[in-house]
Copies of this chain bind each other. A is one copy, B any other.
Amino acid sequence: MKTIFKSLSISILLVFNLHVSTTAQTNANTTSGNLFSAGYAAGFIGGLYDAYYPYKQLKEHGNFGLGAPAKLDGELLILNGKLYQTQSTGKTTLMSDTGKTPYAIVCFFHADKVYKPGMVLTKAALFHYLDSVLTNINGIYAIHIKGSFNYVKTRAFPPVEQKPYLPLAAMLNKQHFFEFKNISGDLVGYKLPAFMEGAHISGYHFHFLADNKEAGGHMIDFIASDITIEVHTLNSYTMDLPQNDDFKNFDFKKDRKEEIKSVENGKKQ
């Protein structure tokens, strides 16, 4: 790992700055450069797994993102406007848009920067590299990583059954993990600033989808071998709040920052 990391810092990276003009985008400010969230992360992670937001409506706010299916039945990924569900069995399927989600974040993805690192990168090395190019620590970045991976580890939760649901951090022992070697696919995700923690999950957050669309899940770890990184810089975010009793009665006073971190990393802190 150390060798990879060092070679990164001294290598010349192939970086293309496309600088797509924002005026060329056809959507209004609230949709083109906007991160739309159905649900509030701290609420979802606290146990609000009942679906409330129609996928059809979600697709009006973006074609690229991630989230959870109804009742936490696996992991959700949205790519090119299509919905993919990876269940705890590992089964990955194209979902119809007739259902609803308890939590999902989407944007209309338009790459404004493209990077081709051209080397093997661990997750830590890639995040370090991204930190060096995504210089606005208070910025919102949508990130699409496509290519081949020496290794990918993902996870998916099994569906919850009876209420009251446990908080996500109390269900980490129920996660199913999946490991893949020499696999091609997409990482779909975001880098969000620390001040958005609570409303969202701050830092890096990716879901994975294999090229054959038969494997995926919440990304836990990877070693990328030959990838292209597209970045879309966003300038606003919208939070849609569930208008149901579970959300109305949710206790936001509890500090769930540690819980959020556990859930994102897939392990107890």
A residues sitting closer than 8 Å to B (CB atoms) are 28-31, 34, 40, 42, 57, 60-61, 136-140, 193-195, 198-199, 235-241, 243, 247-250, 252-253
Compute how far the CA of A193 lies from the CA of B242 in the bound complex, rounded to whole angstroms.
Answer: 14
Task: Decide if B193 touches A195 in the complex (CB within 8 Å).
Answer: no
A238-B238, A243-B235 as given contacts; A252 in contact with B199, CB under 8 Å: no
Asked whether A30 lies within 8 Å of B29 as measured between CB atoms, the reply is no
- Tell me the smallest distance from the CB of A197 to a CB of chain B, in Å: 10
A241 x B248 contact (CB < 8 A) = no
Whether B239 pairs with A236 at a CB distance below 8 angstroms is yes
B236 in contact with A193 (CB, 8 Å): no
| Pair B195/A252 contact, Cβ less than 8 Å | yes
Residues from chain B with Cβ under 8 Å of A136 in the complex: 248
Give which listed residue, B34, B57, B194, B250, contacts A238 with CB less than 8 A. B34
Nearest-neighbour CB distance to chain B for A193, whole angstroms, equals 7
8 A-B pairs in the complex with CB atoms less than 8 angstroms apart: A29-B57, A30-B31, A137-B248, A138-B247, A138-B248, A193-B252, A236-B238, A237-B241
Q: Residues of B contacting A235 with CB < 8 Å? A: 240-241, 243
| A125 CB, nearest partner CB in chain B, Å | 25
How far apart are the CA atoms of A241 and B30 in the complex, in Å?
A: 12
Nearest neighbor of A253 in chain B, beta-carbon distance? B194
CB distance from A200 to the nearest CB of B (A): 11
- By a CB distance below 8 angstroms, the chain B residues around A139 are 241, 248
Across-interface contacts of A236 in B (CB, < 8 A)? 238-241
Q: Which residues of B contact A60 (CB under 8 A)?
A: 28
8 nearest A-B residue pairs (beta carbon): A195-B252, A238-B238, A236-B240, A136-B248, A30-B30, A235-B243, A237-B239, A138-B248
**Contact of A250 (CB < 8 Å), options: B138, B243, B249:** B138
Chain B residues within 8 Å of A250, by CB: 138
List, in ascending order, chain B residues with CB within 8 A of A57's CB. Answer: 29
In the complex with contacts A139-B248, A247-B138, A238-B42 CB distance below 8 A: no
A140 surroundings in chain B (CB, below 8 A) = 241
Within the complex, the shortest CB–CB distance from A136 to chain B, in Å, comes to 5
CB of A245 to closest CB in B, whole Å = 9
The closest CB in chain B to the CB of A198 belongs to B195
Asked whether B241 lies within 8 Å of A42 as measured between CB atoms, the reply is no
Whole-angstrom distance between the Cβ of A264 and the nearest chain B Cβ: 19
Contacts of A243 in B (CB 8 A): 235
Q: Which residue of B lies closest to A238 (CB)?
A: B238
Beta-carbon nearest neighbor of A236 in chain B: B240
Contacts of A137 in B (CB 8 A): 248
